[in-house]
Structure 1
């Protein structure tokens, strides 16, 4: 009996260690996804996203290695509408400056696939993946493959006669990246906190508000995708008014009316402002309400981080707008958007994950 007890203790300890290892791996993948979101934003901001006009996911690993290869690659680009209508007269040297960022973007995407698949095989072969966790990890891998295909589908929209990426496809590409990020984060948190006590039970009544703020943050990110796709940040560079008005003219210029939210740059920016300010108000209210509750120290830290990040994000958004979208601020604005969502996911998970229940 004593030997069986010892074996049971060892098994529990090993299972906890395996969960921790898998959680760290998933959090590392989250960091990589955040990195590629930032790089993807930079490719858009620098006009680099359409520089590679072919999609070769398996054989397209090496960049041009000599002058002849550079000339051949540049010749392909010269046949694209972006060259003919936007970058006419660009030299090979100028082409290299936009090629490298998009190349790095694609290579990081491939690296993320490897960084996920190889450890997954290791954990699976070693029997470290619990039965209920396996389908979730497989779903993550499938979503990653879909994201790669969606990325090319997005780029292809800018290789037709109109040398601009579809704002619908761009936002879908961004949205799926965020879904993958949040899914991996949620599963990792469930693995890390499976055995913790219910210190946040007092905050449980605010769970619905936390979920609502998280959903609003996701919608705000998607709204930012349409702002980016329509280049709406380069217009109405004042705050809080737009062209001297609280509600600018032309927000319902397109018919049917729903198109304005996705195709009218005025409406896209106006909607993004409304969503962002609403999110700020919602998070402030959640922070104040949670401040009156008895919470675990980690949850308390997450709530403070949530408030600080949304204040920083709003400041970055306003600064990016009034300064006419400088590269550094615009990139930081996109990165902090993901961090705001991260803090909300953590708070939501902490409020839901009480009394040692597993939510992985």
Structure 2
């Protein structure tokens, strides 16, 4: 996040108002991420086979409307190859998850654009902040397009969305969340007037925190490939993968460079290795902050330390129990909690 740690805005009250609006957006984006995970885990993501940005906001209410939606789904590969014989009642269940996910995306757009227009008219938003807010809005619109592009990949021949497109969809959502949260923090937490701790220690911790934040993001994207390939359903043992520390089919795909993206064993192995590394470096970062960081940064460090260990427990439990939906959703949600804590820590260390 190579952005200034503070954006000057008219008054403290205006700064808090704009920050509160952005934080509401963060909550909604986080909710969309979690609901997207539920949609995938329940097999609901391909239940809506059309993309209607405006008309699709109105759900089917009548028997005729539901039958039209069901008939469209019955023509899809997922129904023919996976869910043949599904009843209308069963279809309604998966449809509602996907509909809620898409509706929440529309709500986010409204929650952004309406207050943004009001703040512009009232001249609450300073000019230097406008380009960044427009960038957030543009990325949010791109997220909707990317989501439909992802869904389309599962409507052709194979009833499964592309793991590449799924991970790209996840990455863009995390980017929107990160920029929005960082911007809110710049409004709420201006730069300190003087260094609050030794500059050498602060610089090292700040660099370390940024690197760890990047590793957390990479681990989340690795989880996107795990989700896209259902790689959590192979080698459901711990700490070994089956009877081996390094499974023999780790490089079974050809060419070799496809293994980290398309070989389910390799994808799970990579996610495990990244998780081990993240657990170690977050713990080390927490230890360093406990010795040198000021109070606000230390609170974020404590939150990150708790979240990374909770994430490890949830990850192992999810794996051993063959990915039950409640545990898998908690694992995905806590990944965002960990990312938030590390982003907050990185911000606090930069502002000192």
TM-score category (smaller protein): over 0.9
Range 312-321 or range 17-26, more displaced: 17-26
Q: Matches of 1:13 and 1:107 in 2, distance apart?
A: 33
Deviation sequence 1:255-289 (CA, Å, 0-9, x none):
22110000110000000000011000000111111
Deviation at 1:196, TM superposition (A): 3.9
Q: Matches of 1:270 and 1:144 in 2, distance apart?
A: 32
Residue 167 of structure 2 contacts residue 225 of structure 2 at CA under 8 Å; is this kept in 1?
yes
Residue 200 of structure 1 contacts residue 350 of structure 1 at CA under 8 Å; is this kept in 2?
no
Deviation at 1:15, TM superposition (A): 2.2
Verify: 1:134 aligned to 2:135, yes or no.
no
Range 80-89 or range 193-202, more displaced: 193-202
Structure 1 residue runs without a partner (length 5+): 1-11, 355-360
Matches within 5 A, 1:333-348: 333-348=331-346
Deviation at 1:195, TM superposition (A): 5.0
Q: Matches of 1:196 and 1:293 in 2, distance apart?
A: 16
Residue 198 of structure 1 contacts residue 353 of structure 1 at CA under 8 Å; is this kept in 2?
no
Change (3 A) 1:271 1:294: closer
Deviation at 1:30, TM superposition (A): 0.4
Deviation at 1:14, TM superposition (A): 4.6
Q: Matches of 2:145 and 2:306 in 1, distance apart?
A: 36
Q: Which has the larger radius of gyration?
A: 1
Q: Matches of 2:114 and 2:265 in 1, distance apart?
A: 46
Number of the residue aligned with 2:326: 328
Residue 10 of structure 2 contacts residue 126 of structure 2 at CA under 8 Å; is this kept in 1?
no
Q: Matches of 1:200 and 1:282 in 2, distance apart?
A: 24
Change (3 A) 1:199 1:319: farther
Verify: 1:31 aligned to 2:27, yes or no.
yes
Range 251-260 or range 139-148, more displaced: 251-260
Residue 39 of structure 1 contacts residue 105 of structure 1 at CA under 8 Å; is this kept in 2?
yes
Change (3 A) 1:182 1:124: same
Deviation at 1:201, TM superposition (A): 3.7
Number of the residue aligned with 1:158: 154
Number of the residue aligned with 2:85: 89
Number of the residue aligned with 1:275: 274
Deviation sequence 1:53-98 (CA, Å, 0-9, x none):
0000011111111111111110000000000000000111111011
Number of the residue aligned with 1:78: 74
Change (3 A) 1:29 1:198: farther
Q: Matches of 2:20 and 2:212 in 1, distance apart?
A: 26
Q: Matches of 1:109 and 1:239 in 2, distance apart?
A: 37
Number of the residue aligned with 2:188: 192
Range 208-217 or range 190-199, more displaced: 190-199
Change (3 A) 1:102 1:198: farther
Aligned length: 342
Residue 209 of structure 1 contacts residue 286 of structure 1 at CA under 8 Å; is this kept in 2?
yes
Deviation at 1:204, TM superposition (A): 3.1
Deviation sequence 1:16-44 (CA, Å, 0-9, x none):
22121111111110010000100000000
Q: Matches of 2:93 and 2:315 in 1, distance apart?
A: 27
Q: Matches of 1:258 and 1:25 in 2, distance apart?
A: 43
Change (3 A) 1:198 1:324: farther
Q: TM-score, normalised by structure 1?
A: 0.93
SS of 1:87's partner is coil
Task: Please report the RMSD computed on the Cα atoms of aligned residues, expressed in angstroms.
Answer: 1.2
SS of 1:47's partner is coil
Number of the residue aligned with 1:353: 351
Verify: 1:40 aligned to 2:19, yes or no.
no
Q: Matches of 1:65 and 1:320 in 2, distance apart?
A: 37
Structure 2 residue runs without a partner (length 5+): 1-7
Verify: 1:56 aligned to 2:52, yes or no.
yes
Q: Matches of 1:106 and 1:319 in 2, distance apart?
A: 30
Verify: 1:108 aligned to 2:111, yes or no.
no
